[in-house]
């Protein structure tokens, strides 16, 4: 199983890097939009939507992407609207902060969010926030380096947490949601992500724009923020799956389950990462 997971992860990473670096902004937005719609199809299972309702949910999200396409300036010649993207990303960060509250109070909080309409709205906010965020990172740096940076940072949290937890894990992080996760694993993920983020800061300093000492401090803080939200995204999906007694969100990825099983941490980390980088890099 571990070999299959590693092989799938490598194929995904190579494919994402190739897509991110080779496509223009509009094509990248279209491909990521298609992936988000796959995620929407899987999310519908969390809300126990029937076939027609599931199609309606995916269709509503597709329409929302189309509207955001115009709002962000992808369809015009006036340039990308970083201000709109910043506001949307801050809204997304607020949503995930509220999700953290639901996780901390699980299962007592279940009644507050556990119905089809609310879980559907949660899916809309999280998936649209992911799409806007990834497209914005591509717009900030057309080479795709920022998209790749975020993906690798989230992966570093997962990898560091997995191996540190295996070797040293004793104290359970959230036994009611994910019995295998430990606090030792979390700190291992934070440490590896801190190293990765500072390495990216050095590269941006050398090839994109000069960094002051405060910028390196911001990237160190960003590593902590990304690690925190990545864990929140992972636990949020575990909460929704446990609520519906699902093992995986789907079966599209061998060894990983569904698409959401692979990008849950990325979904939560993207909005806050985008907001920080927009403010740091000064817009598009």
pLDDT of 213 reads 86
Torsion of CA 181, 218, 123, 241, to 10 degrees: 0
Stretch 179-203: mean pLDDT:
92
pLDDT confidence band for 284 (50 / 70 / 90)? very low
Average pLDDT over all residues of the chain: 89
75: helix, strand or coil: coil
Nearest to 190 by CA among 165, 166, 226, 218: 226
Stretch 200-222: mean pLDDT:
87
Tokens encoding 185 = 């694993």
The percent of residues above 70 in pLDDT, for the chain, comes to: 94
For residues 160-197, b (16+ Cβ closer than 10 Å) or e, as one string? bbbebbeeebeeebbeebbeebbbbbbbbbbbbbbebb
Nearest to 216 by CA among 232, 200, 235: 200
Stretch 245-255: mean pLDDT:
75
The number of domains in the chain is 1
Q: Which residue has 């190739």 as its token pair?
A: 18
pLDDT of 4 reads 66
pLDDT of 258 reads 84
pLDDT at residue 220 greater than cutoff 80: yes
pLDDT of 283 reads 53
Which domain covers residue 47, as residue numbers?
Answer: 2-281
pLDDT at residue 281 greater than cutoff 70: no
pLDDT of 109 reads 82
The percent of residues above 90 in pLDDT, for the chain, comes to: 62
Q: 96-134 pLDDT, tens per residue? A: 999 999 999 888 888 888 889 999 999 999 999 999 999
Stretch 242-258: mean pLDDT:
77
Beta carbons of 129 and 236 less than 8 angstroms apart: no
- Going from the C-alpha of 244 to that of each of 121, 125, 238, 256, 277, the distances in angstroms are 17, 20, 10, 18, 36
pLDDT of 195 reads 94
pLDDT at residue 62 greater than cutoff 90: yes
Tokens encoding 19 = 């897509």
pLDDT of 254 reads 64
Stretch 149-155: mean pLDDT:
93
pLDDT at residue 9 greater than cutoff 80: no
pLDDT at residue 15 greater than cutoff 90: no
For residues 28 and 21, what is the distance between their CA atoms, to the nearest angstrom?
9
For residues 96 and 109, what is the distance between their CA atoms, to the nearest angstrom?
15
Q: 65-90 pLDDT, tens per residue? A: 999 999 999 987 778 888 999 999 99
């Amino acid at each position: 199983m571990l070999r299959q997971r590693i092989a799938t992860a490598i194929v995904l990473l190579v494919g994402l890097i190739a897509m991110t670096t080779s496509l223009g902004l509009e094509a990248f937005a279209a491909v990521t939009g298609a992936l988000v719609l796959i995620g929407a199809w899987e999310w519908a299972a969390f809300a126990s939507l029937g076939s027609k309702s599931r199609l309606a949910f995916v269709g509503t999200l597709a329409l929302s992407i189309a509207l955001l396409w115009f709002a962000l300036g992808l369809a015009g010649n006036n340039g990308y609207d970083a201000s709109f993207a910043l506001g949307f990303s801050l809204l997304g960060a607020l949503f995930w902060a509220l999700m953290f509250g639901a996780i901390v109070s699980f299962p007592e909080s279940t009644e507050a969010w556990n119905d089809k309409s609310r879980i559907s709205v949660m899916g809309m906010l999280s998936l649209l926030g992911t799409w806007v965020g990834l497209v914005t990172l591509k717009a900030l740096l057309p080479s795709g380096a920022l998209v790749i940076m975020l993906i690798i940072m989230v992966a570093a949290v997962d990898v560091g947490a997995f191996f540190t937890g295996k070797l040293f894990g004793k104290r359970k992080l959230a036994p009611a949601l994910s019995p295998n996760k430990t606090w030792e694993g979390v700190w291992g993920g934070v440490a590896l992500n801190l190293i990765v983020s500072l390495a990216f800061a050095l590269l941006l300093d050398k090839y994109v724009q000069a960094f002051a000492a405060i910028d390196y401090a911001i990237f160190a803080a960003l590593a902590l923020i990304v690690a925190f939200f990545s864990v929140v995204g992972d636990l949020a999906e575990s909460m929704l799956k446990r609520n519906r007694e699902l093992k995986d969100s789907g079966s599209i990825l061998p060894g990983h389950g569904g698409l959401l099983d692979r990008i849950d941490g990325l979904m939560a980390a993207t909005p806050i990462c985008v907001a920080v980088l927009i403010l740091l890099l000064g817009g598009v």
